[in-house]
Amino acid sequence: MSQGSHRKLFITCQEATYLISKDEVWATGLLDKLKLAVHLMICEFCRRFSKQTKIIERQARHLTPEARLSEEEKGLMEEAIKTKENGLQ
Amino acid sequence: MPDMLTPSKWVQSYADSLFGFAIARTGDRDIARDLVQETFLSALENRRTFRGESSERTWLFSILKNKIIDHYRRKGSERTVSVSGDAENADESYFFDEVGHWKSTLLPTDWGSAPEEARSSEFLETLQKCLSRLTAQCRGVFTLKYIDEMESDEICKELAISPSNYWVIIHRAKLLLRNCLEKNWLNA
């Protein structure tokens, strides 16, 4: 947030999206919450940002890509393990 | 109790799940594979510390998690080169004009009924791709927070970043991911 932002009630979209992103109760002060509420009343773009980033946060938990190692890669790993095991004995 | 571990079966039993976990968090196939390999080798070196209180699988995952955090930390200290006009490397000011309003070309559009469709595999695939395009530090912070659901103060501690820097990174990650999804999923 810029220096003068403590005095003014109206914040910019850049400041508003920062406050939206900082979504934890303890992290934002009461005054910032008020400023954000005022901004969201008048700015549909930041309202969309807020709604859409919440969707992203919720969906991120479901990320589990179907990734598989090739047999060759696994073979190399097995060899590395064997070599290391022998080295440690 | 070394005999509780069966290193000869590690690759067969755990390599794919460890790899899937690592790739979701690094977005890079080669890095993920190397981290899995390092995990197995570290596990061998430290096999005496395995007490059998957790399963072999849980133990290997905890080693991998530490490797991933080390990876993010290393990446975070590297300077990332910002390519002008390239949204993937942009910082938050890329999206706003001089007075802090959304740039007219980057205004968030209405996603309509997207919330219901967001569960679709296309959405998740695109999200994965968008995540892999972020800088390593951005991706690392976002992943720890929203995929691993780690506490913010814990992430700051693990990655050795200040809370204010942390929120700037979260802000940046969300701006970039939202924009990337809009371009590549909504308007695909």
Choose among B146, B172, B164: nearest CA to B25.
B146
- Partners of residue B179 in chain A, C-beta under 8 Å: none
CATH T-level topology, domain B87-186: Arc Repressor Mutant, subunit A (1.10.10)
Q: Does B98 touch chain A (CB under 8 A)?
A: no
Which pLDDT tens digit goes with each residue over B54-101?
A: 899 999 999 999 999 999 888 776 544 443 344 455 678 899 999 999
Contact residues, chain A, for B24 at CB < 8 Å: 63-65
Joined tokens for residue A50: 């807020």
Pick B146's closest partner by Cβ from A22, A60, A81.
A60
Under 8 Å CB-to-CB from B36, ≥6 apart: which residues? A69, A77, B15, B18, B19, B22, B64
- pLDDT digit string (tens) for chain B, length 188 residues: 445 789 999 999 999 889 988 887 887 889 999 999 999 999 999 998 898 888 999 999 999 999 999 998 887 765 444 433 444 556 788 999 999 999 999 999 999 876 666 667 889 889 988 988 888 788 889 988 998 888 999 889 888 889 999 999 999 999 999 999 999 988 77
Specify if A15 maps to a domain.
yes
The residue ranges of every structural domain in chain B are 2-77, 87-186
Range of the domain at A53: 1-62
Nearest to A53 among B37, B41, B178 (CB): B178
B2-77 and B87-186 agree in CATH topology: no
With respect to residue A35, please indicate whether it lies within any of the assigned structural domains. Answer: yes
Give A39→chain B minimum CA distance, Å. Answer: 12
What residues of chain A lie within 8 A of the CB of B185, using their CB?
A: none
How many A/B residue pairs have CB atoms within 8 Å? 140
Q: Number of folded domains in chain A?
A: 1
Measure A78 CA to nearest chain B CA, in Å. Answer: 6
Asked if residue A73 is part of any domain, the answer here is no
User: Per CATH, which fold does B2-77 belong to?
Assistant: Rna Polymerase Sigma Factor; Chain: A (1.10.1740)
Query: Is A88 within a domain?
Result: no
Tell me how many degrees the CA angle B56-B62-B68 measures, rounded to the nearest 5: 135
C-alpha B95/C-alpha B92 separation (Å) is 6
Q: Who among A21, A56, A58 is closest to B167 (CB)?
A: A21
